[in-house]
Amino acid sequence: MEPVQLLGPDGTLRADPRWPLEVTPELCRDFFRRMSLARRFDDEALALQRQGELGLWLQSLGQEAAQVGSITALRADDHVFPSYREHAAALCRGITSAELLVQWRGNAHSGWDPAEYRFHIYTLVLAAQLPHATGYAMGVQRDGADEIVTVYFGDGSTSQGEANESFNWAAAAEVPLLFFCQNNHWAISTPTQTQMRAPLHQRALGFGLDAHLVDGNDVLAVHAVTSAVAEQIRAGGGPALIEAVTYRMAGHSTSDDPGRYRNSSELDDWSTRDPIARLEALMVDRGYIDDAFRDEVAGECAALAEETRRVCRELPIADIAGLFTSVLAEETPLLAEERRQYEALVASYVD
């Protein structure tokens, strides 16, 4: 299977009758704005982590097209189960900077209300969100609702039993579920090709899922394919899987040094397929972008960056004492000792 591509790396548009998409100036500008905002937010969060304001950050750099193209193809009431790197998708759902950062500052397990945004909390236990999404989709099916469920996950997480159980379970139960894999080529330091012998979209076919392969750095292709597949699922066509081929341009997390396990020429190669630059090339060619629009988006990005810095620093120092008492009904001696150590540590702070 060749990945569906509508926009070549040089910004040339090649229509594909199987995946119709009306490429208007408004659509391109909307995607350009959303991807630019996501990238700026990601940059700012990285800087905040390096300054000691966040405990950890996992960048979405390079994966903006896969996320923006897909989430904008869904309805606002379609429930989404993300993994932990879906910041561009979260921003599209209206989740705020403060809500996105609170978890990484260590203040809470999650910063937003999943019911409000129809966007579940981030899941760091690999593939745990796939059975959650499958079960949720079974509920949607039994309610007779016309919403669909989408679950985001990475290539590496598909080695987990939960992922494969979910593929089979969803296919057997014919639930309204879209499995969306961002194959960014790496699972920390393990490359995708050493993690599986058959590509994921082929494995998905074996489970009885409708499966598609798309260029994940082509926002137009991702949007066209996800729109068509989402409507097919909504119409009762059963679950499907989309494998979006993209690239994790940064390290796995701020605790990782990709220079220890991958060659910089790989990044250079993928930089020529940057999702934002590619869309911009099309927009320049078609006259969809001018200095006034660029300035407008740059202004919005600067405002988001400033707000991100401000809200992050305003988040209070976390009081995690409650974690020691809220999990078990009766405090064990070990837990009591850990709580005392924590309280002594906090009491030792000068300020």
Ligand X SMILES: Cc1ncc(C[n+]2csc(CCOP(=O)(O)OP(=O)(O)O)c2C)c(N)n1
The residue (of 141 and 253) whose beta carbon lies closer to ligand X is: 253
State the burial class of residue 9 (Cβ atoms within 10 Å of its Cβ: 0-12, 13-18, 19+): middle
| Minimum distance, C-beta of residue 187 to Mg ion, in the bound complex (Å) | 5
Q: Give the residue from 63, 111, 119, 115 showing the smallest Cα distance to 93.
A: 119
**188 binding partner (options ligand X, Mg ion, none; Cβ < 5 to 8 Å by kind):** ligand X
Q: Are strands 186-187 and 177-183 parallel, antiparallel or unpaired?
A: unpaired
- The 3-state DSSP class for residue 4 equals strand
Q: Give the residue from 230, 212, 198, 272 showing the smallest Cα distance to 4.
A: 212
Token pair for 304: 């988001």
The residue (of 18 and 197) whose beta carbon lies closer to ligand X is: 197
184 interacts with Mg ion by CB under 5 A: yes
243 interacts with Mg ion by CB under 5 A: no
Q: What are phi and psi of 212, to 5 degrees?
A: -140, 150
Site size for Mg ion (CB under 5 A) = 5
275 interacts with Mg ion by CB under 5 A: no
Q: Fill in the per-residue mask, 186 to 225: x = in contact with Mg ion (CB under 5 A), - = not in contact.
A: -x--------------------------------------
Which residue has its beta carbon closest to Mg ion? 154
The residue (of 3 and 176) whose beta carbon lies closer to ligand X is: 3
Evaluate whether 68 touches 34 at the Cβ level (below 8 Å): yes
The residue (of 158 and 308) whose beta carbon lies closer to ligand X is: 158
Phi-psi region of 236 (alpha: psi -120 to 50; beta: other; left: phi over 0): left
Enumerate binding residues for ligand X (CB under 6 A).
85, 124-126, 154-157, 160, 184, 186-188, 248, 252
The residue (of 124 and 320) whose beta carbon lies closer to ligand X is: 124
Evaluate whether 259 touches 266 at the Cβ level (below 8 Å): no
Q: Fill in the per-residue mask, 100 to 139: x = in contact with Mg ion (CB under 5 A), - = not in contact.
A: ----------------------------------------
Interface ranges with Mg ion (CB under 5 A): 154-156, 184, 187
